[in-house]
Structure 1
Amino acid sequence: MIGFSSFSKTPDTRLAAQACIDKIRTPAHQYTAGFSSPLYTMIDIANQLERDPGTARHVWVIRSDKQSQVESCHTRISAWPLRFSPTACASEKPLLYLTSSATSAELCALSNESARRGILCNDIETLPSRWPKGAHPWVPLWLAANPHCLPFDPASGAEAHAIALAALQSLYVEGNAGFYYMALHDEPNDFVAPISHLSASQAFKGMYKLNEIDTDAGQPRVRLLGAGLALQSVASAAQMLRDDWGVESELWSCPSYTRLARDADKAQRWNRMHPDMPRRSSHLVDCLSADDCPVVAVTGYAQHVADQIGGHIQSRFVALGADSIETSSSKSVDKRWIVALALRALAQEGVIAQACVEQAMGRYLLQ
């Protein structure tokens, strides 16, 4: 059996990563405004790094995806040759993997061939499929359970850009273990405000707030969380809640429910094991513990992905996924159901009358 070693992190690795970070640090206007899709943002980043002579020699780009490719002598279709290259093994470089992989078996193979390193970008959501987000139902289970993987589902090009920068910093400058995964869709978002430096940092932690509402107005309030393309349905539901029912919605983009849950679990374990020490918090708890209004978390995957954070939320919590409603097509999350479930949560809290829920079910033909 032929043996091979993993990549070695050296000072040259940090220098290569810094060169890539410097090249893409200043995003194009469409990234910051949120108008570019996550998919074309990452393709553009890969093209920039390959076409610039100053960074082309500092990055490994693998393109096994079905999107148009840039012609470059630096492009590869597999990471396996790197595993057998003495030069590659001697000093690791940032690895950007663009793929179209619909099953966990394919993703497992890709992570093995890249030594569980790099930024793995999957555009399967853009292709025809009978599964939600184009991914076999085992994929989100594999992503959530894989301790080497930190998965993200960015809603906009700005989020994808922020996550890519932070991943380069974490993996190759700081030398942390594991790999990052991004599910990429190709629809631009015209409702996401320009992302600030603080929001970019919080997006990498798993969630950040999109709007501010007047808490003194006395209107019923909910907090709506969304990830990836499902955030568009969440934003539409917020508009319906305001226009049809007089309910204000605090909107949160959650690029990674899994990271939020893992960090909250870690803090909870530490507090349990160190009862006499000051308690540790988590980004999830810091964001959502200041209020007691209901939380509705939406994902384009199955409901269990959003359910990961439920145990750490003190207020009434509702998770909604592509498999949550029996009458749905199981391909997307219906904004009408987000509205109905938000109203039901408010009714269960005694904030609005149960009759409002019944009216909404009839009005939106959900019965």
Structure 2
Amino acid sequence: MTYRILGRTGVKVSPLALGAMNFGVWANKDHDDAARIIHRALDAGINVVDTADVYSQGENEDIVGKALKGRREDVFLATKFHGQIGVDPNHRGNSRYWIFKAVEDSLRRLQTDHLDLYQAHRPDPDTDVEETLGALNDLVRQGKIRYFGTTTHEPHQLVELQWAAEQANLQAPVTEQPPYSILARAAERSTLPTAQKYGLGVLTWSPLAGGWLSGRYRPGESESESATPSRLARQPHRHDTELAANVRKRAIAEELYKLAQDTGLSLVHLSLAFVLQHPAVSSVIIGPRTLAHLEGQLGAVDVELDSAILDRIDEIVAPGVTISPADEGYLPPSLTDAATRRRSIREA
């Protein structure tokens, strides 16, 4: 496996990273099976494992921690903070208060004394970026984390973090983790160019668009065969096959399936190779739920798409276009809170 440099860090990472989200109550509840998948990934040369405290409310980190016993030093271990843990309203977000507690909880569950990459899972409009940066810099100085980065941040937020760190003479984020697939190409507009400008390492998530590019969403298949019940319950807008945007995704996935067949590839390999080929991308996070899923994805690192295939993909889904807003992973308050867009009658 040919390794890539993670931004300007000098760290060499495998082109595929193992995303652990599907281990635990959300998907694969068999801890031993999850460990087998993790070990197989490491044996295949994958050296990045990515998880988050919110995945299955900590169970996911427990699974990863147990599986990495004896192999921790071979892994660039990444996890995240931000999501709600339990019911305490302060057990979430990007505040110093929560970051300092969350990191200790993650270290305990992962059975390690440091994290290689600690990521803000989403932006937090309620917390000043200087507070978040200060807390993360303190964790670097304490040796509890090596680097820190962001996940699913808007391009202007990436710039703001770089600027704020420079102004305060603090270390800045070194990575961004955006959603990126053939069906969700919005990152091509500004996120990936911004990452390149600031030398950020890019670890993309959902390269198979939440399973739509796995080959399971074929005509005639039932909903239960296409998406797990937990997926439908947690993310109905992404996976409900009756929604107009998802009907369109299914039709496009079928076009891509036929393109893959014409080129002698599986749809999985076509989709992963597409993301791997973007020059901004350091590593592509895959999230296998089974060992068979993992085996079906590993070979994508050896696939190179020629210009004719890439041009055909551009015809099917234009550059910069995301078919469904639900696949963007984050909608800012300016879109979700109507009050931010409407002046009151009294003010008018």
Same fold, judged at TM 0.5 (above): no
Higher relative CO (Cα under 8 Å, sequence separation at least 6) belongs to: 2
Q: TM-score, normalised by structure 2?
A: 0.31
Q: TM-score, normalised by structure 1?
A: 0.29
Which structure: larger Rg? 1
